[in-house]
Amino acid sequence: MATAPDLLAGTRETIRAMRDGDVAEVVGIERASYQFPWSEGIFRDCLRVGYTCRVAAISRQIAGYGVMSVGAGEAHILNLCVAEAFRCRGLGHRLLTLLVERAAAVGMKEAFLEVRPSNTAAIRLYLAHGFAHVGMRRGYYQAVGGREDAAVLRLGLRGGSRTDL
Ligand SMILES: CC(C)(COP(=O)(O)OP(=O)(O)OC[C@H]1O[C@@H](n2cnc3c(N)ncnc32)[C@H](O)[C@@H]1OP(=O)(O)O)[C@@H](O)C(=O)NCCC(=O)NCCS
């Protein structure tokens, strides 16, 4: 199998809808990326209920993914993850841009997400996209030896016109 640098050399990723057949590969990235990963069943449920599920693929290899729910004027970014070998190359930025544009395009007025306050890489990414800290959810996350709070971040959206995202 080609290495991440080989795959990235001159190759632009494709961001497309996640399919059932992607879930095993997505779960592999999820397990390697989080201490308390989503199960395969959660990803399948997200696909089944029609959440916005996207993957970034490079030469058919999945490098990252994002999952978002939309409704009642609000988008909720539920998961955003890039495989370790592909990080710090702008993929997280491009996946997040696509989700936010999609939320605006389908008429959502604001986007929310939760993030561990200890996750400085993700927080920097979200702040760079204009998300702002609007609150804390106490004990929201599982953590080793107890629970960890979640920071709640919000982004106001303006209506867009793209529907191909
Ligand atoms: C957070 C995550 C999605 C970022 O993906 P990525 O592809 O590496 O991000 P990008 O290369 O697009 O970087 C975008 C910005 O994120 C921030 N960032 C990314 N990695 C960072 C790091 N290791 N340290 C500090 N800031 C970082 C920077 O602000 C960066 O912008 P810059 O390069 O102009 O400084 C990735 O680190 C990841 O998958 N982490 C594990 C899963 C996770 O924690 N997801 C978020 C759950 S809320």
pTM of the model: 0.92
Mean pLDDT, the chain, as a whole number? 92
> CA dihedral in degrees (55, 57, 61, 67; nearest 10)?
-10
Lining ligand 1 with CB less than 6 A are 33, 80-82, 87-93, 115, 119-122, 124-125, 128
Q: According to the model, what pLDDT value does residue 15 have? A: 97
How many other CB atoms are found less than 10 A from the CB of residue 126? 24
Count of CB atoms situated within 10 Å of the CB of 67: 22
What atom in ligand 1 is closest to the CA of residue 81?
Answer: 39
Instruction: Convert the pLDDT of each residue in 89-134 to its tens digit.
Output: 999 999 999 999 999 999 999 999 999 999 999 999 999 999 999 9
Give the pLDDT confidence of 8-38 residue by residue, as tens digits: 666 789 999 999 999 999 999 999 999 999 9
